[in-house]
Amino acid sequence: MLSLSDRYIVNMFLGEALTGTYVASYQVGSAPFQFLGGVFGFLVQPIIFQYSSMSVKKGAEKISSALVAFAWISVPMLAAFIIMHQWLMRWLVAPAFWSGVDAIVWIGLGIYMWVFGNIVMNALLVMKQTMPLLKISALAAGINIGLNLLLVPRWGIAGAGISTFLAYAFNAAALLYAGKQALEWRFPWQSYWIALLIAGSAGLAGKLAHLYLFESSYTLMAFAGVSSIFLIVTGTFIMLFKNRVTRDYQVMVSRV
């Protein structure tokens, strides 16, 4: 109900053709973050449980360290995805599905929140509190269905994408709250804010370059130019925050 109900509601209100367009958008929008989910779900979870069996405190440290690593890897990827998503849509699906670009950013943000929620969910699993997971998933599914019924008739497949994002954002926020109640661990706010500042600045520079230097064209040359500017600005800001980045890297290596 949480991850698939949107397709049925889109089909009910908009028909099969737009359902196909939405599914194509969903595949493209979720692909980069599904990769992240594999890395931080299948690799981080065994590490956390390896230590939590010996010490709850150690398990808390592992979750916090995993979120530090997730911040530095995922936030730049999210910023790059937001400015590059139209290239992905044009390269990965047929022209008949390009109208789905209206939903793709919202879907990507939603899957990002889903992956984030899966990391903080480990706090509940470490403490063997699985009932809150059922309640949170049920509430998130209800929110997803309700928002889709409300927004799809008004905004089409963009409404379905927004519903996906809001439902997964609720899921992540509820898991974060419940996880911190169950197991005391420090959320790395400073790392996230700095990563957002770096990635946001680089993303803004890339977007402005796309608008004014490459005139919103979607050629390979424009992609290379925007990517280069994004990486240069990212590297420059990382050097400005070198001490913090180095400290976080040392934490990741020593604890994860």
List pLDDT tens digits, range 177-211.
Answer: 998 888 888 889 999 999 999 999 999 999 999 99
What pLDDT is recorded for position 256?
A: 53
pLDDT digits (tens, 9 = 90+) for 100-137: 898 999 999 999 999 999 888 888 888 888 899 999 99
List Cα–Cα distances, 202 to 12, 29, 86, 228, 229, in angstroms: 40, 20, 17, 10, 7
Per-residue pLDDT, averaged over 161-175, amounts to 96
Q: What global pTM score does this model have?
A: 0.92
Strand blocks (E) in the chain: none
Cα separation, 147 vs 159, in Å, equals: 8
Q: For residue 95, give both structure tokens.
A: 């022209």
pLDDT digits (tens, 9 = 90+) for 20-31: 999 999 999 998
When the pLDDT of each residue in the chain is averaged and rounded to a whole number, the result is 90
Give 52's pLDDT tier (boundaries 50, 70, 90): low
Check residues 59 and 151 and name the one with the higher pLDDT.
151
Give 62's pLDDT tier (boundaries 50, 70, 90): confident
Q: Which residues contact 140 (CB under 8 A, 6 or more apart)?
A: 2, 167, 168, 170, 171, 174
Cα separation, 256 vs 29, in Å, equals: 29
Other CB atoms within 10 A of residue 74 CB:
24
Q: Helix, strand or coil for residue 200?
A: helix
What are residue 93's phi and psi, to 5 degrees? Answer: -130, 160
